[in-house]
Amino acid sequence: MFTICLALFVILGGVAVYIYNQMQPVDPSSTSVKVEIKSGAGTARIADILKQEGLIKNSLMFKVYLKLKSEGAKFQAGVYELSPGITYDQIIEKLNRGDVVKADMVQFTIPEGYTVKQMADKLSQEGIVNKDRFLKLAKDPADITVPLLHEFPANGKQIYRLEGLLFPETYELKKGSSEADIMARMLEELQAKLDSIPDWKVKLEKRKLTLTELMTVASLIEREVVVDTERRRVASVIYNRLEQEMKLEIDATVQYLLGKPKERLLNSDLRKKNSPYNTYLYKGLPPGPIATPSVKSIEAALEPETTNYFFYVTKKDGSQEHLFAKTYAEHLKNIQHSNSTAK
């Protein structure tokens, strides 16, 4: 009996030693290993991956350990960087915390008032997009599946369907993101910014505007106004002229057609661009936005001042403010006054 007990003790001791050794970390190494844990992977699959990558000695022991410790339910998917020599508990802690490897990121900024062409130029120069693909998608965003896009149906007259919809902001995306990925993110940001405006849908319905019309008015304000306090006043001029079926005669729409900013527009510039975007030739709003507006311009388009103004002219004193007028006669006087104060 003693001999049997001794033999059993030796066997159990050997098993215990084996289990203990199998649960110890593998030999430490200075070379880390990247391990991908895919979404939905169970503890058995994770244990097998860790064993294959040489991070644990025995996958069965790891699974048993997880079972005994009631661990594994909170493991997060992602790519982890683990070093040989790490303990079971350290592995568990990292997987629970989601201590994943941060992907290489790229950051870029789109200024307020930029056109699609300006964005394409800037982002291509920074090596972030292919200019031709970016502009092609801006015309026909068939590969972009953001719900907000359904609110902006193509009308056949727009130069770029996504003009004015790619919100100006500083973005950080994974390096190598496609043009469609980038544009989708910018459209999502527009949705977020719209939703940040209290009761914006109620205000939009009250003004009896489509979302395309709202963004078009906001883009006109963005390109015409520098001083924030004037945004709602310029919005009132736009709506007043629309209600009276007057041509808007906004220089920014001609600048948009020219493609490049021109310091001073000539009468010939105002007439030679025969396009529905030219508000000197055609009544009503352009077919779509002419630039990407800020939240302040969108808010101004939603809630303009109540005024009797139909005209405005830029002061030439360097203030970048405007002189507003109710009549054309007053407007002519404002032009004369502006010219007299030119620096």
pLDDT tens track for 151-165: 999 888 999 999 999
Q: Average per-residue pLDDT in the chain?
A: 88
Task: Look at residue 284 and tell me whether its pLDDT is greater than 90.
Answer: yes
pLDDT band at 283 (very low <50, low <70, confident <90, very high): very high
List, for residues 71-125, the tens digit of each pLDDT value.
988 898 888 888 888 899 999 999 999 888 877 788 999 999 999 999 999 999 9
pLDDT value at residue 30? 62
- What pTM was estimated for this model as a whole? 0.74
Residue 292's pLDDT band (cuts 50, 70, 90) = very high
More reliable by pLDDT, 23 or 160: 160
What are residue 108's DSSP bridge partners?
Answer: 171
pLDDT in tens, 34-72: 888 888 888 899 999 999 988 898 888 899 999 988 998
Helix axes 131-139, 179-195, angle to 10 degrees: 50
pLDDT at 195 over 80: yes
- Residue 169: the pLDDT is 95
**Residues 15-29: what's their mean pLDDT?**
61
pLDDT for 263 equals 67
DSSP 134-158: HHHHHH--TT---GGGGGS---S--
Q: What is the pLDDT of residue 78?
A: 86
**CATH T-level topology, domain 25-97:** Dna Ligase; domain 1 (3.30.1490)
296-338, pLDDT tens digit by residue? 999 999 999 999 999 999 988 888 899 999 999 999 999 998 8
Look at 27 and 46; give whichever has higher pLDDT. Answer: 46
- pLDDT tens-digit readout, 133-190: 999 999 999 889 899 999 999 888 999 999 999 999 999 888 889 999 999 999 999 9
> What's the pLDDT score for residue 16?
54
Q: With left for phi above 0 and alpha for psi between -120 and 50, is residue 264 left, alpha or beta?
A: beta
Higher pLDDT, 332 or 24: 332
Query: What pLDDT sits at residue 41?
Result: 87
Per-residue confidence (pLDDT) for residue 85, from 0 to 100? 87
**Residue 234 predicted with pLDDT over 90:** yes
Q: How far apart are CA 55 and CA 48, in angstroms?
A: 10
Q: Domain map of the chain by residue range?
A: 25-97, 105-195, 308-343
Tokens of 183: 């544009």
> How far is it, in rounded angstroms, from Cα 322 to Cα 316?
9
Q: How would you label 22-54 residue by residue, b for 16+ Cβ within 10 Å and e otherwise? A: ebebbeeeeeeeebebeeeeebeebbbbbbeee
